[in-house]
A and B are shown apart, each in its own frame.
Chain A
């Protein structure tokens, strides 16, 4: 790669780990590296990035960039692109990344691929790999034209840990205010069902098919194991269980000694929430379900037949 531009992200005042992952990926691909830091009073973070391998760091620093807004971010990225003419632009696939990157691609009439977890450099050609169908398949993609834009799945690459003396240069931005007005950030109500300390969690997914089945099929196993019940997002979206049961990127992050996934396919947003569990048991009738990729133990069975059987055996094992 001749030249890569990475767009940094600041969270709670510090560079996100995902930004250093972009640095590592850009360096793996080779060529020149330019970084862009966007925010208000963030020159310190830009200096840090320059020292942590970010190369030449462009700094878009303005009070109007104090909170994420797509207009301001897109303007800064487009200006960085026209100043540096990168062949490749890397942005983290985070809420701000997925909001702004496609807008920039449309403005530049450039090809873009989202949520990429691997880029291979084959001479001058790049091959981008990402999941499709919620992780059931992978797809390998190519982009023609320049710049090529990719949003990168956080956690897919190890963060760059080296240090280097880069430089920081200001980037002039458009002074027009964004069309959308930031009002506030607030936290969703927490609720009383805290899964973060559970030793065992048994989570049910859309495979349970009906709300009644959580009581009729899942609960006996939960009780037999002395576990807590969790759920995937569609279960919560349908109102079968309250939000506080949801495990995943937009739910709780859990790390029990045993996580049992019942009728859950294993979409990345669910995996993010439970993959650091000590031991994972997956029960799914589809042998190709992506959950089996990260599970330790897999049972390929109809849950309606298997779960009652397992609950009964656990119960008698405890009694005996």
Chain B
């Protein structure tokens, strides 16, 4: 069985984010990056399927050179090989462009299962997985919190609202987008990281995928990124820590709760 895991490298959760000078993205030259949290759960699930039987786990990412770091981490956790796709034409593309490039690799790899995150933690789009499923003609289900293999089928539980879970059965091959909390994500061991250095890591351009820049021309553009208007906003308590705590206590008293 071959499992393709789509991984996006995103700004580290604790990175200080500032808007770029052209106001169309964030300043991302000097910040730390990490694997999108949702994708770590997808990768862990793939590794568990591998641990339970036989599977090849292939990591696929679209991103600039820095994304190699994310791929090495994934290989260190136990994935077998990695593919990085980049091309200048992908810099300004939209989710459909990303999905088209991912689909080109998926068609060549013919995996039995594609796992992705539910959403990227930077853009929060939640677009790529169903697009990739459509472009590869695979059935899909999003926001999966549990998955079991049953004689070539997959029984998946997807999270709905208010604690409801929907249980669906899908034939393989199929695509699941994974919600956080599905499993306990392992860390890359020192031994794993050493071994990862010898694992195959391929880089591909659009042309290698049989695509042209025009195939990934964006239909969606982010015109401007800005701080949300504060609206009414909170009254920020100023002063020394001690003064602030005193004022907060006064407020709680006014509410009649002390």
Taking Cβ atoms with an 8 Å cutoff, the residues of A that contact B are 67-71, 74, 94-95, 98-103, 105-107, 109-115, 127, 131-145, 178-188, 190, 199-200, 206, 225, 233-234, 236-237, 239, 249-251, 253, 257-258, 278-282, 287-288, 290, 292-301, 305-306, 309-310, 312-314, 317-318
Contacts and interface: CB of A to CB of B under 8 A. Distances in A.
Interface string B165-203: 111111100100000110010000000000000000000
13 contacts: A99-B143, A102-B134, A111-B94, A138-B225, A141-B223, A180-B141, A180-B174, A183-B167, A183-B169, A184-B167, A258-B252, A296-B234, A314-B249
Contacts of B155: 183
B222 A139 contact: yes
A298 B257 contact: no
A141 B125 CA distance: 12
B215 to A, nearest CB: 11
10 nearest A-B residue pairs (beta carbon)? A111-B219, A237-B181, A298-B234, A295-B234, A179-B139, A102-B130, A106-B134, A106-B131, A103-B130, A183-B167
Interface centre among B228, B234, B244 (most CB of A within 10 A): B234
Contacts of A114: 124-127
B165 A186 contact: yes
Contacts of B170: 179-181
Contacts of B139: 70-71, 178-180
- In this complex, the member of B126, B155, B167, B220 whose beta carbon has the largest number of chain A beta carbons within 10 angstroms is B220
Max count, chain A CB within 10 A of own CB: residue among B139, B181, B219, B258: B219
Contacts of A292: 230, 233-234, 236
A187 B163 contact: yes
Nearest to B132: A106
Interface of B: 11, 13, 17, 19, 26, 37, 94-96, 99, 121-135, 139-143, 155, 158-171, 174, 180-181, 184, 218-228, 230-231, 233-237, 241-242, 244-246, 248-249, 251-253, 255, 257-258
Contacts of A318: 258
A31 B99 CA distance: 32
A290 B171 CA distance: 41
A258 B163 CA distance: 24
A239 B221 contact: no
Contacts of B99: 106
B168 A102 contact: no
A281 B171 CA distance: 48
Nearest to B140: A70
Given A102-B134, A111-B220, A297-B251, 11 more contacts: A70-B130, A74-B134, A99-B140, A103-B134, A106-B99, A114-B125, A144-B221, A233-B181, A239-B184, A290-B228, A301-B244
Given A180-B139, A206-B13, A250-B159, A306 B245 contact: yes
Contacts of A136: 17
B219 A110 contact: yes
Contacts of B223: 127, 139-142
Contacts of B241: 301, 305-306, 309
A228 to B, nearest CB: 13
Nearest to A289: B234
A31 to B, nearest CB: 21
Given A115-B124, A143-B220, A186 B164 contact: yes
B97 to A, nearest CB: 11
Contacts of B126: 98, 102, 114-115
Contacts of A115: 124, 126
A134 B219 contact: no
Given A102-B95, A314-B249, A95 B158 contact: yes
A282 B26 CA distance: 25
Contacts of A138: 225-228
